[in-house]
Amino acid sequence: MKFKIISKGDKRSNKIKSTMKQYLMDFELQYDREEPDLVISVGGDGTFLEAFHRYQERLDKTAFIGVHTGHLGFYADYTPDELEKLIIEIAKTPFQVVEYPLLEVIIRGNTGEKEDRLLALNEAMIKTSEGSVVFDVKIKGEHFETFRGDGICISTPSGSTAYNKALGGAIIHPSIEAIQLTEMASINNRVFRTIGSPLILPKHHTCLLEPMKDKSFLLAVDHFNRTYNNVKSIQCRVAKERVRFARFRQFPFWNRVRDSFVAEGNQ
Ligand code: NAP
Ligand code: MN
């Protein structure tokens, strides 16, 4: 089996990376940067997001696992204490795989250039660096509302504990194939009126955002931002691809939610 380790870059994560790399190679696993079967991220959820995007072209072939060197993460849910056990389990492959849904975003321009297709593990946010954004929201091809405000966040179930949660969105179990739309400070008056509540769309229900002409806006996908001009539409739906996690023990989603947000005294 071929593996690759991505470290957050701090001293502790780098040390764990080199220990794991050495042990796994001693077990005759092959270190492969290009075509790994397993990608191990060492750091935080942010490190895991980077690892995911680095290998997003081969999601059907690569499984991921995260070790956290700071606080407990949602993707980085293994502790450095578990390292020894984890190395042995990885060396014993094959491993079990758990899959989570992803968000697909397609950006189409007004000027006929090629469309841009992105995948998000956490969310995509449409916002602006100045003033407010205005766009029509269509669901399944039908006009739903005209939004004006700071922006809209469209998140995956596993991303529902991230930015979405801070916006008052619901936490969705990742076995549910859905995307969630949450508003960022919508302006409600006699001209602009929005639903106000988070919306949860099932698989195959497409949401189309059509920005006002000639306005540029920011698209934040997970940990990176891009500016777009002259956009005709932004289409969001549950992606056909899924992210695959290598699983070596149980750590149910609701336990991770509890340990991260509710239980006291957790690291
Ligand atoms: P960051 O500013 O370090 O991330 C903010 C926090 O969100 C960090 O504590 C990060 O964990 C955590 N996080 C990331 N994914 C999560 C998930 N699925 N569930 C629960 N918490 C999660 O930036 P980053 O590390 O590059 O991560 C980017 C993500 O951070 C974005 O996708 C966005 O969802 C989230 N974010 C949230 C807020 C907010 O809640 N107000 C603000 C900015 C960004 P680690 O410390 O382990 O990396
Ligand atoms: Mn981070």
Same domain, yes or no, for 234 and 147?
yes
Question: Residue 254 and residue 94: Cα distance in Å, rounded?
Answer: 26
Task: Count the domains in the chain.
Answer: 2
Residue 161 lies in a domain: yes
Per-residue pLDDT of the chain (267 residues; tens, 9 = 90+): 999 999 999 999 999 999 999 999 999 999 999 999 999 999 999 999 999 999 999 999 999 999 999 999 999 999 999 999 999 999 987 899 999 999 999 999 988 888 999 999 999 999 988 889 999 999 999 999 999 999 999 999 999 999 999 999 999 999 999 999 999 999 999 888 999 999 999 999 999 999 987 778 999 999 999 999 889 999 999 999 999 999 999 999 999 999 999 987 555
Asked if 45 is an active-site residue, the reply is yes
Ligand nearest to the CA of 158: 1
What is the per-residue pLDDT across 95-146, written as a single tens digit (0 to 9) for each? 999 999 999 999 999 888 889 999 999 999 999 888 899 999 999 999 999 9
Residue of 41, 45, 126 to test ligand 1 pocket, by largest number of atoms within 8 Å of CB: 45
Q: Is 38 exposed, middle or buried (0-12, 13-18, 19+ CB in 10 A)?
A: buried
Per the structure, the complete domain to which residue 127 belongs is given by 102-240
Specify the pLDDT at position 265.
Answer: 58
Question: Residue 154 and residue 207: Cα distance in Å, rounded?
Answer: 10
This prediction's pTM: 0.96
Same domain, yes or no, for 121 and 192?
yes
59 pocket-lining for ligand 1 (C-beta < 6 Å): no
Same domain, yes or no, for 81 and 134?
no
Same domain, yes or no, for 31 and 123?
no
Specify the pLDDT at position 10.
Answer: 98
| Cα 33 to averaged position of ligand 2 atoms, centre (Å) | 23
